[in-house]
Structure 1
């Protein structure tokens, strides 16, 4: 009967887990590239389901993400949108926000009226 070597067994488990993690990260990067999303440590970690520390600690993965991060176009984000606004866009955004505020105020007023009706029904029954 062969002797059980705990160190070898742990090394084998570690290498399998490392290979699985590497494969998950590669798939996540491919998916992000296909969907034209930004590739950075946060997005890859979320997509792959691993921690950012794992990505930073693996030298090959870290270099790959750093390279892709600097070469891929940045995904659309709110900060860029604010920087790219000109006067026409700002006016459109302001109008949109005003409409939204008006809609929310009307909804709020309706809910307050419904609450008054509900309270009056409750007090009539008490």
Structure 2
């Protein structure tokens, strides 16, 4: 029992736990990227079942999450893209409806003119 070094054993346990934590965070980040979800401290903590405090306190993990979060902030999200597409579609629909309305107004005007002539012909026959 005199050969047992408690400090070395605790250091070994700590290193193993740290490696396991980093592995779980890596797996979590891969899953989030595949699912095209936002990467931030909350999502990684929830997905990996690791406390946010651990993520913030581990400088290696913290830098990685912050850089990935920054990269994703620069790329538009699917919701933003959809919103922009909806705005473009609204403009196209409005333009289409305006053309249709103009066409119907012109057709209505022509029909009114034809109706005037028809009334004139009927009046002449009387």
State the TM-score bracket (shorter-chain normalisation).
0.5 to 0.7
C-alpha distance in 2, partners of 1:54/1:31? Answer: 19
Deviation string, structure 1 residues 60-102 (Cα, Å, up to 9, x no partner): 111110011011146568xxx9xxx97xx9xxxxxxxxxxxxx
Which one has more relative contact order, counting CA pairs under 8 Å at least 6 apart? Answer: 1
Would the alpha carbon gap of residues 75 and 43 (structure 1) be closer, same or farther in structure 2, given more than 3 Å must change? farther
C-alpha distance in 2, partners of 1:50/1:74? Answer: 28
Partner of 2:17: 17
C-alpha distance in 2, partners of 1:66/1:51? Answer: 16
Partner of 1:41: 41
- Unpaired segments of 5 or more residues in structure 2? 91-126
Deviation string, structure 1 residues 35-68 (Cα, Å, up to 9, x no partner): 1000000000111110001111111111110011
Partner of 2:29: 29
Partner of 1:66: 66
Where 1:4 maps in the other structure, the secondary structure is: coil
Aligned residues: 87
Where 1:69 maps in the other structure, the secondary structure is: helix
Question: TM-score by structure 2 length?
Answer: 0.58
Residues 1-126 of structure 1 correspond to what in structure 2 (within 5 A)? Answer: 3-72=3-72, 73=75
Where 1:24 maps in the other structure, the secondary structure is: helix
CA RMSD, Structure 1 to Structure 2 (Å): 2.8
Greater radius of gyration (CA): 2
**Residue pair 1:38, 1:74 contacting (<8 A) in 2 also:** no
